[in-house]
Structure 1
Amino acid sequence: MDVDRRLRELGIELPAPMGPGGNYVPAMIAGDLLFLSGMGPVRPDGGLVTGKVGDGGLDVATARDAARLTGLQLLAALRAELGDLGRVRQVVKLFGMVNCRPGFNRTPAVIDGCSELFAEVFGDAGRGARSAVGMAELPFDIAVEIEAVVLVMPDVR
């Protein structure tokens, strides 16, 4: 699959990947699996989507958009690590964390913003296992944080 062509068809331009917020690497390859560190929602202007989802906080639609922005960051980190998104064979697992108020239990609807982006970009290969959980706090008060495990083809260079 020509993923770059697919991104153009969808009108998606990937952002520059954001660097780590601590002492870790954004991506690590172990065998044919690539592990992406947790990333957050970065707006095109470089600002972060912050706040808690639920009762009096961010609404589900805004949080879902934040999850999509986070998915764009994950894709940018994948491209930076692999050089070519065409090396992605399968999204194996997404782990989505939602910064939410007590009682908010629609975390799957929020993380769907990222899951749907991956399905749009990679087709069936973009659909994998997933967890979507609520958290009392996330770093820098970001609305969502998502990490991923991806099966990749070997680099033949």
Structure 2
Amino acid sequence: MSIEARIAELGLTLPEPAKPVASYVSYVQSGDQVTISGQLSNDANGGIKGTVGVDVTPEQALEAARLCGLNLIAQIKAACDGDLDRVVRIVKLGGFVQAGPDFTAIPAVINGCSDMMVEVFGDAGKHARSAVGVYKLPLGFAVEIDAIVEIR
């Protein structure tokens, strides 16, 4: 089954890839690896903003990480000239959660994106990862995730 067919089967819809909001590019390819810039928990409705454990629930944060996953896949598709079947492996995800002072379930939040990568790419979606709680994220979004992806 193609990756596009799998995305459709899962009922997911990829957004248009987000444009950079500062002095950087959305992705860089070096050899067979593509580094995708951090994708925020945004969508056409404004996304999920706020501080997890303060004004964002853990459930909302998990959904925020899934939004980041969709945004990452959209950028990966752009980097692959529209052909997601070129993905060999999701190598690494770097997850950042705008966390309140008492919120420590950072890895559980980033699981929203990690699980999506496996749902979409199967075994090729299994990856190394970091999950970090931070004081603030750009534009007040709750979650930001970047990626390194091997393509053919």
Q: Is the shorter-chain TM-score for this pair beyond 0.5, marking a shared fold?
A: yes
For residue 36 of structure 1, give the secondary structure of its aligned residue in structure 2: strand
After superposition, where does 1:53-132 map in structure 2 within 5 Å?
Answer: 53-54=52-53, 56-82=54-80, 83-132=82-131
**Could you list the per-position Cα deviations for residues 6-34 of structure 1 after superposition, in whole angstroms to 9, with x for gaps in the alignment?**
11111111011111110111010001110
For residue 57 of structure 1, give the secondary structure of its aligned residue in structure 2: coil
- Paired with 1:148 and 1:117, the residues of 2 have a C-alpha distance of 13
- Paired with 1:18 and 1:43, the residues of 2 have a C-alpha distance of 9
For residue 150 of structure 2, give the secondary structure of its aligned residue in structure 1: strand
TM-score (norm. length: structure 2) = 0.96
- Paired with 2:34 and 2:18, the residues of 1 have a C-alpha distance of 17
For residue 16 of structure 1, give the secondary structure of its aligned residue in structure 2: coil
Kindly report structure 1 stretches of 4+ aligned residues shifted beyond 3 Å.
Answer: none
Alpha-carbon RMSD across the aligned residues, in angstroms, is: 1.0
TM-score (norm. length: structure 1) = 0.93
In the alignment, which residue of structure 2 is the partner of 1:40?
40
Identity of counterpart residues, as a percentage? 46
Aligned length: 151
For residue 70 of structure 2, give the secondary structure of its aligned residue in structure 1: helix
Task: Give ranges in structure 2 of 5+ residues lacking alignment.
Answer: none
For residue 121 of structure 2, give the secondary structure of its aligned residue in structure 1: helix
For residue 122 of structure 1, give the secondary structure of its aligned residue in structure 2: helix
For residue 35 of structure 2, give the secondary structure of its aligned residue in structure 1: strand
After superposition, where does 1:130-145 map in structure 2 within 5 Å?
Answer: 130-145=129-144
**Could you list the per-position Cα deviations for residues 96-138 of structure 1 after superposition, in whole angstroms to 9, with x for gaps in the alignment?**
0000111211000000010011110000111100000100010
